[in-house]
Structure 1
Amino acid sequence: MMSLASSTIFTTYSIYYVSELRLNPFQLVLVGTVLEITVLIFEGITGVVADTYSRRLSVIIGMFVLGSAFVLEGSIIWIMQPASFLPAFGWLVVSQMLFGIGWTFVSGADTAWIVDELDEESTGSLFLRSKIFALSASLLGIAIGVGLTMLAPNMPFLAGGVFYFILGLILIRYMKETGFTRRERALHSSPVRELGKTWISGASILRHHPLLLLLTVVTLFSGAASEGYDRLWQVYLMNEVGFPETVFSVATGFGLINAATTLLGMLAVYIAGKVIDLERERQVAAALFLLTLLRMGCILLLVFAPDFYWAIGAVLILGVVTSVSEPVYTTWLNTKLPSQNRATLLSMISQSDALGQSAGGPAVGYIGSRISIRASLLSAGILLLPVIALYGRLLRKRSV
């Protein structure tokens, strides 16, 4: 359901941002920066709530906040008529702040809930299988997003927001929580103090675990690289590469690109599930090293692509690499975390991603406004070099 909502919204989101809200490259990345700063601020708080009180409650709250964020975002062009005390970009910032808060309630709590309800040994295959289901739902979302964009560019945001509301209602009715034990409160201890104890316990584990610290740094640089690419690749194809003259609209073109990426991603995830033994740490480290190397190579290929079709090939391969990387990384990370602090630690690592995106995003966007979007994407690719180096170091240690 989340993949359905996300693909409905984000398949053609840049058309709404550029054609209706008139954002420039710097503003496009700044929107993401607002989102990531919000995540950076609230991630630790909401993760601690999930570990202290209820992961189910945290996820359900997140669904309704996310729904509100996207309905507001889709309503901006109506709010702006005939007059508004905020410009369109101001309303977009508000919606992104809501998006960030809602996301932090879900982030960490959902995977922590899954691992608690099952056993750690079965989560690897589960995350890979669930990725295939998510990609299947994305295909439907792509079709819905493209169709709604042709009616009005803001409609996918409204539909996606409604999907989140529906999912929240479904979870209220059907989501159970049997594997989580609520932390016992000490006598006369306030809720704030209990939250603080949970956070301090998680921070102590992170500080004394070399592998988790390394993964936190990996997430920092990976987040910095992904923000520039995620916000600018569609604009780059529209404005600098250019779509060929065809019978398809730009919205349909993006829909076809996303559909092809999804189908190839499903096949790649299935093959990865057969090839990669997620219980063997060296295999996982080698897979993540190679996938990150491919990711950087695809960004560089996109930057220096001689024509539209080379650029599309780079985008497709990069999408497939991301589809495989996410469940592999998620599985590896969750098996290293203690259950009692799992949501808090996941939130802390997610904060590292948010810090990377909020720090790296504006720099990449500024390059795009001052030089070119091509230069922005090149800088995003270069930011992956430290990630490759860290995975390589981990791989050498595991081979000793």
Structure 2
Amino acid sequence: MLIGTLRQSACFLFQIPTGVLADMYSRRWAVVLGILLIGIGYLLEGSFPVVPIVFAAQLFWGLGTPLLDGADVAWITDEIGVEQAGPVFLRATQIGSLTSLIGIALSAILVNIHLVLGGSLFIVLAILLALIMPEQHFIPAIREDRGVFQQMSHTVHAGVQLMRTRPVLLAILGVAVFSGVFSAGFDQIWNYHLLHNFAFPALGRLTSATWFSIIEAGIVLTNFCGASIVKRCVDTNKQRGVVVALCVLDGLTILSVFGFALAGQFTLALVAFFLLTAVRGPSLPLGQIWMNQHLDSRVRATLFSLRGQVSA
């Protein structure tokens, strides 16, 4: 809990400044630096599993994640356009879900080594992106004769002005508030709820730890299935279709959470839980698509970072 709080606090503090810097200078370099810092954090945590180093690693992670968050979405959108970005976000969710299965398997086999391996791969990826990642359509925010902090303030002000003229952006930030409150609580206690309130079915010599590995794999697969259904059924270039899909997903989220909380049997709780994970899979990319449809390129990363800060 302490490590999670430290990590979340660092993300909260750095969200807006990193988004502003991405809009001012380069989304590409924000992505590269973010991935590099995340890799260093994982490498430190896996190499030196002692409390002070683990805490320091969270600061690297907490700075790298906000650098990446928002800048990656803004970079993709600028390079390929808003209309093409929607399907890409959903496809990325599908691919990420499937490759997570490899990560789950490696973490079960390699224990601490998987942090070192993962951190090393992040660093290698950052180096590769620095060499091959293009940035052809990004137009930096006009800096005129302002200093760095004055320009940062100007960019934030431009984002606030945009929200005033487009009330739907305020609605999106309001959704992020409730989403953050829900995620912070549910993600911390769902496994405790299963472990302490249900008897796990006996399947051979499976322990509760093995059951949780199976459940983690189920989360990945249901995320993939949910994203696949939405990708097939929703036209991401039509705002109304995206909003209706988000409303349906939010309704199913509420239904599945109540089902999970009130289920009296392990099987029913697991069904409700997997319905929830299937719904949460496409919710993030659809939210990004919805927000993208209302943003100006010059403050795109800043407002995505603001959304991340509100959620945190």
Same fold, judged at TM 0.5 (above): yes
- Residue matched to 2:168: 211
Among 97, 108, 120, the alignment partner of 2:59 is 97
State the one-letter code of the partner of 1:103.
T
1:285 aligns with 2:243: yes
Runs of 4+ in 1 over 4 A off after TM superposition: 90-93
State the alpha-carbon separation in 2 of the partners of residues 101 and 198 from structure 1: 20
Could you tell me how far apart the structure 2 residues matched to 1:124 and 1:41 are?
29
Asked if the contact 2:239–2:293 (Cα under 8 Å) also holds between the matched residues in 1, the reply is: no
Partner of 1:226: 183
Letter paired with 2:11: V
Unaligned runs of 5+ residues in structure 1 are: 1-27, 80-87, 355-400
Describe the shift of the 1:214–1:236 C-alpha distance in structure 2 as closer, same or farther (beyond 3 A): same
Q: Which amino acid aligns with 1:338?
A: D
Alpha-carbon distance, 1:45 to partner: 0.4
Superposition deviation, residue 345 in structure 1: 0.9
Q: CA deviation at 1:249?
A: 4.2
- Residues 86-130 of structure 1: CA distance to partner in whole angstroms, max 9, x if unpaired? xx4x65544333322111000000000000001111111221222
Q: Is 1:164 paired with 2:122?
A: yes
Matched, 1:73 2:45: yes
Per-residue CA deviations over 1:352-393 (Å, capped at 9, x if unaligned) read: 101xxxxxxxxxxxxxxxxxxxxxxxxxxxxxxxxxxxxxxx
Equivalent-residue separation in structure 2 for 1:344 and 1:302 (angstroms): 36
Residue in structure 1 matched with residue 26 of structure 2 by the alignment: 54
For residues 44 and 267 of structure 2, the distance between their equivalents in structure 1, rounded to whole angstroms, comes to 36
Structure 2 CA distance, aligned partners of 1:184 and 1:75? 43
Matches within 5 A, 1:231-380: 231-246=188-203, 247-354=205-312
Residue identity in the other structure for 1:51: D
Would the aligned equivalents of 1:67 and 1:165 in 2 still touch at CA under 8 Å? yes
Partners of 1:101 and 1:287 lie apart in 2 by 33
Residues in 2 aligned to 1:319 and 1:47: alpha-carbon distance in whole angstroms:
28
For 2:54 and 2:198, locate their aligned partners in 1 and report how far apart those are by CA, in whole Å: 27
CA distance in 2, matches of 1:171, 1:242: 47
- In structure 2, relative to structure 1, the CA distance for the partners of 1:75 and 1:306 (3 Å cut) is farther
2:127 paired with 1:127: no
Which amino acid in 2 is paired with 1:238?
L
Q: 1:159 to 1:232 in 2, by over 3 A?
A: farther
Structure 1 residue identity aligned to 2:245:
A
State, as a whole percentage, how many aligned pairs show the same letter: 32
Q: 1:265 and 1:179 mapped to 2: Cα distance?
A: 32
Partner of 1:108: 70
* 1:175 matched to 2:123: no
**CA deviation digits over 1:315-336, x for unaligned, max 9?**
2111111112122111111121
CA deviation digits over 1:179-221, x for unaligned, max 9? 112234323x322222222122112212332100011011011
Q: What is the letter of the counterpart of residue 78 of structure 2?
A: D
**1:47 deviation in Å?**
0.3
Question: Aligned residue pairs: how many?
Answer: 311
Asked whether the 8 Å contact 2:166–2:294 carries over to 1, the reply is: no
- Quick one: distance in 1 between partners of 2:294 and 2:198? 43
Instruction: Quote how far apart the aligned CAs of 1:250 are.
Output: 4.0
Evaluate the alpha carbon distance shift between residue 161 and residue 236 of structure 1 in structure 2; reply closer, same or farther with a 3 A threshold: farther
Counterpart of 2:100 in structure 1 is: 138
Q: Would you say the 8 A contact 1:261–1:317 is kept in 2? A: no
TM-score by length of 2: 0.91
Q: Provide the rounded CA distance (Å) in 2 between the counterparts of 1:205 and 1:230.
A: 33
Q: Does 1:38 find its partner at 2:10?
A: yes
Q: d(CA) in 2 for partners of 1:209 and 1:33? A: 33
Q: Is the 8 A contact 2:48 2:54 kept in 1?
A: yes
Counterpart residue number, 2:80 = 118
Shift of 1:67: 1.4
Look up the equivalent residue of 2:237 and give its one-letter code: E
Aligned to 1:19: none
Question: Distance between the aligned counterparts of 1:233 and 1:261, measured in 2?
Answer: 12
1:183, 1:291 → 2: CA distance?
35
Q: Is the 8 A contact 1:32 1:227 kept in 2?
A: no
- Alpha-carbon separation, structure 2, partners of 1:238 and 1:72: 31
Match of 2:154 among 187, 193, 197: 197
C-alpha distance in structure 2 between counterparts of 1:345 and 1:280, whole Å:
21
Name the CA distance, whole Å, in 2 between partners of 1:299 and 1:75. Answer: 38
